[in-house]
Amino acid sequence: MSEEIDIVIDSKTYHAKEGSLLIDLLIKEKIKVPYFCYHESLGPDGNCRMCMVEIEGQKRPQIACDTFIEPNMEVRSTGKTIEKVRTDILELELINHPVDCPTCDQAGECSLQEYYMDYGLHEAKVSISDKVKHKKHVDLGSNVILDQERCVLCARCTRFTDKITHTHELGIIGRGDDARVSTMPGRKLDNPYAMNVVDLCPVGALTSKDFRFVQRVWFLQTVNSICHGCAKGCNIFIDHNRVKYQDDVIYRFRPRRNDEVNGFFICDEGRLSYKALQENRQETALLQGKEIREEEAIQEAQTLIQKYKDNISVVIDANLYSEEIEAILRFAKKINASVHSPLDVYIEESFKDDMLRSAHRAANYKTIEALHIDTHEPKSSGLLINFNHPQNFNAAAHIDFLTHQRDVPSLVFPIADYTENSGTLTNEDGILQKCEKAISRNLPIPTVIEILLKVKV
Amino acid sequence: MSFVFSKENLLRIETLKKRYPSPKALCLPCLWMAQHQEGYISIDAIDTISEEIGIAPMEIYGVVTFYTMFHLEPQDKLNVQVCKTLSCKLCGSDEILKHLEGKDVKISHVECLGSCGTAPVMQIDDVYYEELNPEKVDEILKSLR
């Protein structure tokens, strides 16, 4: 069944595996085909009927999501018949839909809106007052809000809770034009991956409480990055924007497909981790709690390093980029310091599950191990230089490089967090992944490497 | 869970289970048993059925809401189901409906009850009442009080 064969789509020949789904080929070859219910992670369901194509020898148009590729297949994805079929099916989908895109939060990333521009744009035969009214604001739980009127009943969300999380919270109740997505009475959507239904929803029915009506999606810039929540290294998009007269701000994380790492999804904790990332940032250098200029801080650091010569320990956070870790190692060698990165503090067994969440809550601990860095705590020393490691250690004197504010009465350097810097990480399966720089602050915070280059020793 | 199937119902479920390759096939029979036992289908009953046959409660809840014959709340009034399809309509179901208006019963219009030869027809619980006229309806309601 897995033989490569040729099939013809719109008079062009393509290679495909015999017995594979036609819609997968259409999506792969970027041949325009509208669809709501099909999703590569959930498989075909065949309920939306939008992906109709004509197949030579078949009497009626067929749905591409439930058609298997056969030898000598001839497919037409365009033409008068197919346009008419799609228009008619879309008209059915839109019978009770309010078509109020300007006030909908999904506008700009809505399949229904796109297809409406392609196959809709006709006068509605049902007047607004005759449309079936449903609830506009149902709090399903786990930060997910449901607008039942905008739903096209593609069942992607219910299939997600059935097939992916196996928690079965969502289902379709009622029938005919009364059918709608719902939870059981008195029960909520409650699982650590729940917010993925917001990404799965092709229309504005499911939106995130956290993001809805905060930003228009066409104002957002998207950057590829990696979640730092645990060692799994789920691929994400960072959506950020600099609103006029304000600073560059992250508005949401979205999962980015990577079949080798996270598939299509991320956990809710990772998705919402952007909030804590932007709070309580360390923005200026400090000496005993007082703000000082960077040059003064560097001067102070040089004096300390000189004073405690040959009695210095360096501690590295296992979330830093590999490039940063290597720069710190080079620096430590120069000042003849012992290097440590205690990893026990990152382990949180209760966080682990059998989907994506890993007990190692450090994004780059594999690199620490690969570089043979001592993972024991440093023995008490003269000077301790801490590169954002979450633990506090005893020493006569401290220098702290911090992304976020911490109550330490020492010399503190502010450093850029992972969204303000680019670099590479190795996830727990040994896959090397790259993060791009997303945020450019109005007042930039230097990276570890930039500061270390300025310290003369 | 406060809902427990009666002994007879449990016995029936066991007998039915042998008939089908999967216990999931017993969704509708179990719902009927629960409704007959309590008069309605409680969320507790759905949870009990879910454990009995291995279907998620949400899926069973979807089935309950799909069919108009299942009730999720206790019914305090007689549920009079009047057939609204062609034969009954031609033989005077409108008159029956009009006559029922204002009476202390729940009226529901249902699709063909499959008894066109004896139209007009109404169904109260599981019993058919056929060849109706207003006087007969009064008699029936009186006898049921």
Q: What is the pLDDT of residues A405-450, one digit of tens each?
A: 998 878 999 999 999 999 999 999 999 999 999 999 999 999 999 9
Residue B100 forms part of a structural domain: yes
Torsion angles phi and psi, residue A63, rounded to 5: -80, 130
Distances (CA, A) of A179 to A86, A87, A188, B32, B58: 22, 22, 19, 22, 14
DSSP A358-380: -SB--TTHHHHHHTT-B-SPPPP
Residue B71 forms part of a structural domain: no
Question: What pLDDT sits at residue A309?
Answer: 87
Choosing among A158, A173, A182, which should be mutated to test the B contact, i.e. which has the most B CBs within 10 A? Answer: A173
The domains found in chain A, sorted by start residue, are: 4-93 (3.10.20.740), 101-208 (3.30.70.20), 228-278 (no CATH), 285-454 (3.40.50.740)
Question: Is residue A83 scored above 60 in pLDDT?
Answer: yes
CA angle (B18, B24, B27) in 5-degree steps? 100
ipTM: 0.85
Query: What is the pTM (predicted TM-score) of this model?
Result: 0.89
- Which range marks the domain in which residue B17 is found? 7-66
**Same domain, yes or no, for B85 and B140?**
yes
| Strand order across the A4-9 sheet | A12-17, A4-9, A74-76, A52-55, A62-63
- Domain of B122: which CATH number? 3.40.30.10
Closest CA to A364 of A386, A343, A345: A343
**Same domain, yes or no, for B28 and B85?**
no
**Same domain, yes or no, for B54 and B87?**
no
Q: How many CB pairs under 8 A join A and B?
A: 30
Question: What pLDDT sits at residue B145?
Answer: 74
Question: What pLDDT sits at residue A70?
Answer: 92
Contact A174 B66 (CB under 8 A): yes
**Same domain, yes or no, for B38 and B16?**
yes
**Same domain, yes or no, for B116 and B140?**
yes
Residue B2 forms part of a structural domain: no
Q: What is the pLDDT of residues A206-259, one digit of tens each?
A: 999 999 999 999 999 999 999 999 999 999 999 999 998 999 999 999 999 999
Question: Is residue A1 scored above 80 in pLDDT?
Answer: no
Final residue before a domain boundary, out of B23, B40, B66: B66
Amino acid at A240: H
Choosing among A184, A189, A190, A197, which should be mutated to test the B contact, i.e. which has the most B CBs within 10 A? Answer: A184
Cis peptide before A192 (omega within 30 of 0): no
Residue B72 forms part of a structural domain: no
| Residues of chain A found within 8 Å of residue B65, distances taken between Cβ atoms | 173-175
Final residue before a domain boundary, out of B19, B43, B66: B66
HEC sequence for B50-117: HHHHCCCHHHHHHHHHHCCCCCCCCCCCEEEEEECCHHHHHCCHHHHHHHHCCCCEEEEEECCCCCHH
Residue B13 forms part of a structural domain: yes
- Domain of B16: which CATH number? 1.10.10.1590
**Same domain, yes or no, for B53 and B104?**
no
Residue with the two structure tokens 């998009």: A237
Tell me how close the Cα of A100 comes to any Cα of chain B, in angstroms: 29
Question: What pLDDT sits at residue A414?
Answer: 95
**DSSP code for A347:** B
Cα gap A81→B97, rounded to integer Å: 47
CA angle (B58, A98, A131) in 5-degree steps? 80
For residue A139, the cross-strand partners are: A145
* Cβ–Cβ under 8 Å, residues A79 and A87: no
**Same domain, yes or no, for B98 and B131?**
yes
Cα gap B129→B100, rounded to integer Å: 14
**Same domain, yes or no, for B100 and B134?**
yes
Final residue before a domain boundary, out of B45, B66, B87: B66
Cα gap A373→A338, rounded to integer Å: 9
**Same domain, yes or no, for B91 and B58?**
no
Residue with the two structure tokens 């990696």: A226
Residue B43 forms part of a structural domain: yes
Measure CB to CB from residue B58 to each of A169, A175, A186 and give the nearest one: A169
Question: What does the block give as tokens for A243?
Answer: 């609103």
Residue B31 forms part of a structural domain: yes
**Same domain, yes or no, for B57 and B12?**
yes
* Cβ–Cβ under 8 Å, residues A42 and A164: yes
- Mean pLDDT computed over A363-390: 92
Residues belonging to chain B = 145
3-class secondary structure, A182: strand
Amino acid at A157: C
Between the CA atoms of A322, A325, A327 and A329, what dihedral angle is there, to the nearest 10 degrees?
Answer: -130
**Same domain, yes or no, for B36 and B89?**
no
| Residues of chain A found within 8 Å of residue B62, distances taken between Cβ atoms | 171-173
For residue A424, the cross-strand partners are: A434
The helix/strand count (H/E) of chain B reads as 7, 4
Between β-strands A411-414 and A395-402, what pairing exists: parallel, antiparallel or unpaired?
parallel
* Structural domains counted in chain B: 2
Question: What pLDDT sits at residue A409?
Answer: 79
Whether B56 has its CB under 8 Å from any CB of chain A: the answer is yes
Residue B73 forms part of a structural domain: no
Cα gap A286→A297, rounded to integer Å: 8
Question: What pLDDT sits at residue B1?
Answer: 64
**Same domain, yes or no, for B60 and B103?**
no
